[in-house]
Every structure is written in structure tokens, then in C-alpha cells.
Structure 1
Amino acid sequence: MMSEFKEFAMKGSVMDLAIGVVIGGAFQKIVDSMVGDIIMPVVGLLTGGIDFTNRFLTVGGGTFATLEEAKKAGAPTVAYGLFLNQVLTFLIVAFTLFLVIKGVNRMRRNEPAKG
């Protein structure tokens, strides 16, 4: 059983997958920083500094200044601002990855042919 496990673990595809996961985790930090530190401040400037995190509706009445207050009070809320933030972040991350992959593909096409 140990020899089978060793054979499985040392297959090229398993090692490639492990390397891909590690590099993907590191790349995620770069993308998160690009979105949070570079792109989102520009989006905030373009939207007039609107902070969507405190955009919410309380279900069943009650008035609260912030979403945190409503949650502490146990009021049922529809936090549509948080949802909009997540959708916007997803779109920005997806577009950023599209640009990165497009650049990588362009570099691959420009490589001289092997032979």
C-alpha cells in the first residue's frame, strides 16, 4: 500500500497540481492587493466615496444607523450593500485575471519556436 501511495504522490500530475495550488495561493494575495489597494480606491473616487457596506434594509421595522447596530440588536437585515461589494469585487478580480492571462498568452505567442 505504501508503494502505491508513493507512486501516486510522485506522479507528475499530482506534483503539478500541488505546485499550482501553492502558486495560486500566492497569486491570490497579489490579486487581492491589486483590487483592494489600487482598483477599489479609484472606484470609490469615481462613485463619490459611497460606502456600500452600510447599505441595508431591516425586515420587520426598526431604524439603525449602521448594519453592525442592527445585527447587535438581532434585527433581521438584508445587507444588499455587502452583496454589491462582493459582486463588484468579483467582477474586478475576474477582469484583472482576464488581463493577466491575456498578457501571458501574448508572451507565449511571441516565444520563438522550439526546434
Structure 2
Amino acid sequence: MFGEFRDFIARGNVIDLAVAVIIGGAFATITTSLTEDIIMPVVGWIFGGADFSSWFVRLGDVPQGYEGSLANYAELKEAGVAMIGLGQFVTVLINFLILAFVIFLMVRQANRLMAKKEAEETADPGPSEVELLAEIRDALKNR
């Protein structure tokens, strides 16, 4: 059983997939930072300084003894208040769209490279072996 598992792991596809997952996780972190630290502040500025993190609807009561701000989504969420986080949803949606667009660009480029490679492979392969041998024979006859 261990041998089969080792053979499975040693396949190129599994290793490539593992590398892709690790790189994808790192790329998701970059995309999240791009969304939260660059894009959302600009979008908030365009909409008159709106802070999307404060767009939420409180569904439940605030627990007894809560001393945080009633306008701070993160603090209310940490306190266990039931809420619908509209601003958080917008941020995650924009994050997803950025990630999906970048993946689309990568797949599109990969498809172009594959098509180019296939075109090169189907291009004129040059003379066949028989033609090359005939040329060699004719060259030797002419000596």
C-alpha cells in the first residue's frame, strides 16, 4: 500500500497540482491585500468616503457588557452579534472578481501558447526520410 501511495505522489500531475495549490494560496493573499488595502479605499473615496466595512445590518441584540462601538463590524462580530455583513460581502465579491479575472488571463495565455505549439507541430515538417535519402543518394552519384 505504501508503494502505491509513493507511486501516486511521485506522478508529475500530483506534484504540479500541489505546487499550483500553494501558489494559488499565496496569490489569494496578494489579491485580498490588493482588494482591502488599495481598491476598496479608492472605491470608498469615490463614493464620498464610505467605509464598506461599516455596511452591515445587525440582526441580534448586543450582548450585556459590550463596550465597543456599535458601528464597528469586526468588534460586533467578535462579540457574537448576529449580522449581515453587506460591506464584507462586497469586498469578498470584488476579491473574487479580481482573482477570477487574473485566472482567466492566465488560462487565456496558456491556451494561446498551446495553440502556437500545436501550430508549430503541424507546420511543414520538411522533407521526409525517403526524400532526404534520395538527396543523399543523388549527391553521392554526382561525386
Tell me if TM exceeds 0.5: yes
Please give the secondary structure, in 1, of the residue aligned with 2:120. coil
Shift of 1:19: 1.0
Checking the alignment, whether the CA contact within 8 Å between 2:52 and 2:87 is kept in structure 1 is yes
List runs of 5+ in structure 1 lacking aligned partners.
Answer: none
Number of residue equivalences: 109
Offset from partner CA, 1:29-87 (integer Å, 9 cap, x none): 2211211222111121123223344445363589x742537975xxx73333xx11221
Q: Which has the higher contact order (CA 8 A, sep 6+)?
A: 1
When normalised by structure 1's length, the TM-score is 0.69
Aligned to 2:120: 114
Aligned to 1:85: 87
Aligned identity (percent) is: 37
- CA RMSD of the aligned region, Å? 3.1
Aligned to 2:132: none
Checking the alignment, whether the CA contact within 8 Å between 2:9 and 2:15 is kept in structure 1 is yes
List runs of 5+ in structure 2 lacking aligned partners.
Answer: 122-143
2:102 is aligned, of 85, 97, 100, to 100
Flag as ranges the 4+ runs of structure 1 deviating above 6 A. none
Checking the alignment, whether the CA contact within 8 Å between 1:8 and 1:14 is kept in structure 2 is yes
Q: Which amino acid aligns with 1:91?
A: L
Aligned to 1:4: 4
